[in-house]
Structure formats: C-alpha cells, structure tokens
Amino acid sequence: NAGVTQTPKFRVLKTGQSMTLLCAQDMNHEYMYWYRQDPGMGLRLIHYSVGEGTTAKGEVPDGYNVSRLKKQNFLLGLESAAPSQTSVYFCASSYSDRDRNWRELFFGEGSRLTVL
C-alpha cells in the first residue's frame, strides 16, 4: 500500500517554463489537496478537489491550475513558472466518514521545485 505518491520528487525550472506535478493515491479517497510549504511558513492550500471531475481554489491558487480526471490522481500545473513558486509542494488525500464529514489528511513525501 503506497498511500500518496508524488512525482517528480525534485525539479528545477527556468522562469516561464511549464510543468505538471502528479499526485496518486491508492486509498480510494474522495478528497485530494495540493499544499505548498515555504521556509518559516506553515502549509498553505493551493487547490483541492472533493471528488472526480471537481476542483476548487484554496488560499493561494494564483499561477496554478489543477485537474482531477480520475479519482486516484490529482495534477498540479504551473503554466509559466515564476521564482516565487519555488517551494516544497505536498499532496494530500482524505476520506469522509459515514456522516459525510472528512477525516484527517494523509500527505505525500513532497516535491521540491526550484524556479530560476
């Protein structure tokens, strides 16, 4: 059972380049999230999804797009990377209990992105 898997683990981009981070979970969770963590900061929510085919903006969505075409995958895209997007990105997933309330988040190991 792999849990939440993120690829790639590391990436260096030049300003203006595009890339996609892939998150895959094998726990059949309904909810998936993308967070970023910067030095001295807590984790901040970028986008999230409450089910296949749905996405919503989080706290810091600008400069990112997401897609959830399959329940197990959540993609985070940077169309035109900027140095301010240098960060560690964490994907997470969670499920809802029988009362349709979400339970705690399970995180991937993180993807370190550097934009030069």
Partner 1 sequence: DQQVKQNSPSLSVQEGRISILNCDYTNSMFDYFLWYKKYPAEGPTFLISISSIKDKNEDGRFTVFLNKSAKHLSLHIVPSQPGDSAVYFCAASSFYGGSQGNLIFGKGTKLSVKP
Which residues contribute to the site for partner 1 (CB under 8 A)? 4, 31, 33, 40-45, 48, 50, 58-59, 90, 92, 94, 100-102, 104-110
Whole-number minimum distance, CB 80 to partner 1, in Å? Answer: 26
Give whichever of 6 and 85 is closer to partner 1, judged by the CB atom: 6
Give whichever of 17 and 44 is closer to partner 1, judged by the CB atom: 44
Task: Give the integer Cα–Cα distance in Å for 51 and 92.
Answer: 13
Whole-number minimum distance, CB 24 to partner 1, in Å? Answer: 14
Task: Give the integer Cα–Cα distance in Å for 61 and 6.
Answer: 19
Radius of gyration over every alpha carbon of the chain, rounded to an integer in angstroms: 14
Whole-number minimum distance, CB 25 to partner 1, in Å? Answer: 12
Give whichever of 17 and 73 is closer to partner 1, judged by the CB atom: 73
Whole-number minimum distance, CB 63 to partner 1, in Å? Answer: 19
Give whichever of 33 and 64 is closer to partner 1, judged by the CB atom: 33
Beta strands in 1-116 (DSSP E): 4-7, 10-13, 19-25, 31-37, 43-49, 56-57, 65-67, 73-78, 87-94, 106-107, 111-115
Q: Are 104 and 40 in contact (CB under 8 A)?
A: no
